[in-house]
Structure formats: structure tokens, C-alpha cells
Amino acid sequence: MASKLYSSITHIIFLLALLYSTTSARNSTTPSVSICNSTPYPGLCSSSLQTNNDTANVYDYGRFSVRKSLSAARKFLRLTEKYLQKSHALTTGAIRALEDCHLLAELNIDFLSSSSQVVDKAQTLSAIQADDVQTLLSAILTNTQTCLDGLQETASSWSLKNGISTPLSNYDTKLYSVSLALFKKGWVHKKKKGPSSTSKKQGALEKGHFSVKMSKKNKAIFEKVGRRKLLQDTDSDVDQIPVSEMVVVSQDGTGNFTTISDALAVAPNNSVASDGYFLIYVTAGVYEEYVTITKKMKYLMIMGDGINQTIITGNRSVVDGWTTFNSSTFAVLGQGFVGVNMTIRNTAGAIKHQAVALRNGADSSTFYSCSFEGYQDTLYVHSLRQFYRECDIYGTVDFIFGNAAAVFQDCNIYPRLPLANQFNAITAQGRADPNQNTGISIQNCNIRASDDLASSDGTTETYLGRPWKEYSRTVYMQSFMGELINSDGWREWAGDFALNTSYYAEFNNRGPGSKTDGRVTWPGVHQIGAADASNFTVSNFLLGDDWLPQTGAPYSGGL
């Protein structure tokens, strides 16, 4: 009897063990595990995106992660407001960093709301729609990292770092990364290749002539200020730039306003592309003011009288207590912005270290025939999609930096003389996640020493770039490189950081600095062919054929 009982119990235990092992095996291969393993943080994905639906797929997880991210962004915004209410107990630097975080959190809420609306409606997106959402989700990570960087720069308070930085880096950033990975896995398909050979789009702004479609009233304004020569005949084969309204800024009082900021105060909010541009024409002069194109000032164009004619200048710097983000003389957030024929400067000097001339975080933005002048961190290509054509860029350390998808075409890049014992790094690209569709592409540009560097003793080392963040990505193609470029090409950031994960590439460059046989041999450094280079052209990297024609700027879509 005892033996039969023992046998029965043993049989039951065996069946239970078999059932448990079968269930465990089934659970280990559930869709949730498989889906989350495709993200950088599978553990956080599984624990944060729990669902009772056994048939949930990558689209379900993607939608849920975006909604969860939106909730986290709103929570963080409230946290920044809580700390700002106690600003009397904080340093000026901490307050400025928090104000940056507040602005960036508002942008993240906007971007996540827009992304959620798209993914909730469709499981299949066009290439342009998918790129739009991937761009927004990429920018959310960039905004969050910018907030953390600013706190690190200026906020010495233990409570501030632990109260904001720790939860932001430990949870929010990872959740945003999961959302981006899930979206890319579910919705992003391989982009259709644009033109791979040279294809030039003539723009209405080309060669100093402007074909502007505007009202008789605005034409009269142009004529009154002596700008008749800018108007071409309406039967020109060049597309005209649609302009809804125009104002003139002139320091002598002959225009509508004497400052750019006053003109911006009357700009419309939330325009759409079909409305045409609100055009601010800024006559020659030196404008000592800090200009901000807010996120609501969409499809706005500022046109000056030319490089070194219309000059906008400021001198904020990190040394003087500003964050890098808010040290800029000119800041742009409004979608579709176009800047033409002006110089933007930061005159803080090399001694003040990080001091930004232009900070650009505007999607589908364009600068044509402009000059950006500074030393360290001159041009902050912060986020989203940007195009620069026939611009001059001056600087020393990391003077083209940020994490936008940015293409520079036919530009002049002038490394300057830095402080003693400093070296020049032209780029410091900030891609921090492998799924971000960001990077710096420098095409058909000229890289030469500025006058002060050219006349120096020749001991300054100048590099193509260095990896600011882990997945830094920069491509030089079809450009002239002067002899100032160090034969190594690229310089490390700190030790072996990002040497394996960054992506640095060169294609068909020319000039004495373009020789690649002496380049560093990091795994992330590549000499590429036309097929790979075409991925970083205007048509493919920016999908620029969809939005650049309206700007009036000329561009080449391919190689």
C-alpha cells in the first residue's frame, strides 16, 4: 500500500514538473520576450510594458511604449516646475539648466503626442511618415540628454542632481530608447534611394536673386527699400517662394521695426507650409541682440543683406554661467525656418570655451549663404533635420556639434587658431542611440585654415572630428581638405570611448588633407564607396526632395 502511494505521489510530482517545464519553456518564447529583446533595454521593456494580451505584437508594444513615454515626459515636466518654484534656493546656473529642461520637456511632450497620433492610426506608414516619427523619437532622446548635460555643467546641488538627473537617466531615457527601437522594428522600412548621381535643384534664392511670390503691398515694400533687384520676372522657370507677409527691420527707422526681436513679436503662430513664409527682411547693420525663433513660429524666413552686411552678435558663454544650450546668439525651434544672407556671431572668444553662435533645433530648416562665427561650439546642430548651403563656418574645438540629421553642402569650413595647448576638432557629433536617424554629412565643402591659423606657427593639430557620444556618426564626401588636417583624421574623446561604436566615413575627398593611408584604425572608421555614401545625401538622409524645394535654396539631391 505504501509503495503504491509513493508511486502515485512520484507520478504526480513528475506530471507537475513536466507541466511547469512546458509552461516555462512556452513563457520563455512569448512574443513579449522576443519583442523586448530587440530593444537596448529588454528588462525594462518587459517590466514596464506588461500586457494581458498574449497575442500582442510589435505594433501593440510600440503604441503602448509611446503612450508610456508621454506619461513619463509629463511627469518630468511637473518635476521641473516643482524645482523652479523653489528657485530662491538655487544658483543662477542651476535655474538656467532647469529652464532648459523645462523647455525640452515641453518639446518632448509635443513630439510624443504627434508620434502617438500617427502610430495609433496606422500599422503601415510611407517612408516619409516613418522618417518623420523616427526623427521625433530621436529628438526626444537628444532633448533628454541635453537636459542632463546642462545639469552636469551648471548644477552643483546634490538634491538637484539626484532629484532630476538620476530618475531621468535611470528610467526616462531608457524608456524613450525602447520606444524608438520598437518603432524602428515595426514601422521603419528601407528608404527608397534618391538620385545617386549629381542632380542639382536650382533654387529661387540662387546667385543672389530672389523670385518671391507676394502681394502688391509687399512688392511695394521691397521697392521702397531699394530691393527691386531681388525680384525676378514672374515668367522665370525658377519656382517662386510663397510669402504670406513681409516686414522690414532697419536700424535707421525706415523699416517697420528697428530690432529683429520686435519683428518676431508680430510673427504668426503655427503656420503651415501652404500658408507661405512670414518674411523678415533685415537691412545691413550690426544687431546686438539674442534672437529666438520659438516652436510656434513655423515657416518663418529671415533674409539679410549678405554675409558681413547683416550681422547678429552676442557673447554668452559657459564660463559666464550659461549652459551650452542657452549660450547661443541665435536659437531656432520653429519648423520650416529659412535663414538667408546674414552673419551670426558669438564674440565671447576662445578664452570663454563653450559659446554658441547658432543653435538649431528646427525640423526641415535651411540656412543659405550665411556665416557662423565663434570658437568652441560655434554651430549647434541640435536636433531634427537641417540643411546648410554655401555657408561659412568658423571655430576651434568641436565647432560643428549636436545630434541633428544635418547636411552641409558647398560650405566653407574654417578652423581658427585656438588657445595654447588646444587642438581643433571640426565636428563632435552626438548620436547616443544606435536607432537614431541622425548624423553630420559634409558634402562638396572646402576645409581650409582661417587667416589667423594659417599665419600661426603651424603647431595646432586639426582633426575631422571626435566622438562626443557613443554612436557618433559623421561622413565627409567629395570635399576639399587642406593640409591642416592631421593625417590621423579623427581624434579620441577619452580613452577608448566610442571607438568601436561610432561611425566615421570618408568618400572621394580631395586635397592634401584627404589622404587616408595614415588614418586611425578604429573599428568605427571607414573608407566607403558610392553606394554607402548615397545614404548620406540630401535625398536619402534628409528626404529633402519632400521639403527643400519650397525653401528656394539650391541643392544637389545625390552625389
If one counts every other C-beta atom within 10 angstroms of the C-beta of residue 78, the result is 9
Check: CB of residue 384 under 8 Å from CB of residue 404.
yes
Separation between Cα atoms, residue 535 and residue 183, nearest integer Å: 20
Greatest Cα-to-Cα distance within the chain, rounded to the nearest angstrom:
114
Q: In Å, how far from its chain's centre is CA 547?
A: 17
| Pairing mode, strands 338-346 and 446-447 | unpaired
Which one-letter amino acid corresponds to residue 490? W
- Grid coordinates 502681394 are at which residue? 215
Check: CB of residue 414 under 8 Å from CB of residue 392.
yes
Spatial neighbors of 481 by CB under 8 A, at least 6 apart, are 447, 464, 509, 510, 511, 512, 513, 514
Q: In Å, how far from its chain's centre is CA 499?
A: 22
Separation between Cα atoms, residue 331 and residue 358, nearest integer Å: 6
Active site residues: 398
* Nine-digit cell string for 33: 520576450
Distances (CA, A) of 305 to 192, 323, 413, 543: 39, 31, 21, 30
